[in-house]
């Protein structure tokens, strides 16, 4: 199916998302920081990125903005998946270029529906 880059500094969350995605036929790449994620996105050109917000160094909002503005990666849809659940966080994430925003822990079926919508060419829920 799709090649998905997970940018999250939590090994537990990365493992949980990886297992869920692989179980549903997706290929997973992961990065533990925004900086490593930017490099991986440019190098591997994933079909979609799952982005945490609270990261060491550059945060997920900054990384989303950088990826959505760079010519090499601006076409890659980003879903922010974060514990930050305020409406202002969601709005800010979408303004940075994310196609969707999901609060952790996500409901598996809902997250997969959102991912599949974006990788199949849909615009996403926003």
Reported as a single tens digit per residue, the pLDDT across 9-49 is 999 999 999 999 999 999 999 999 999 999 999 999 999 99
- pLDDT value, residue 44: 97
Q: Is the pLDDT of residue 123 over 70?
A: no
pLDDT tier for residue 113 given thresholds of 50, 70 and 90: very high
DSSP summary character for residue 36:
H
- The fourth-level CATH superfamily of domain 3-119 is Response regulator (3.40.50.2300)
């Amino acid at each position: 199916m799709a090649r998905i880059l997970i940018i999250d500094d939590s090994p537990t969350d990365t493992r949980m998302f990886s297992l869920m995605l692989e179980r549903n036929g997706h290929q997973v790449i992961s990065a533990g920081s925004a900086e490593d994620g930017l490099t991986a996105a440019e190098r591997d050109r994933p079909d979609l990125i799952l982005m945490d917000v609270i990261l060491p160094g550059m945060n997920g909002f900054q990384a989303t903005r950088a990826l959505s503005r760079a010519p090499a990666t601006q076409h890659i849809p980003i879903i922010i998946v974060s514990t930050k659940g305020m409406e202002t966080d969601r709005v800010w994430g979408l303004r940075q270029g994310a196609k969707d925003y999901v609060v952790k822990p996500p409901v598996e079926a809902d997250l997969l529906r959102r991912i599949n919508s974006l990788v199949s060419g849909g615009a996403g829920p926003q």
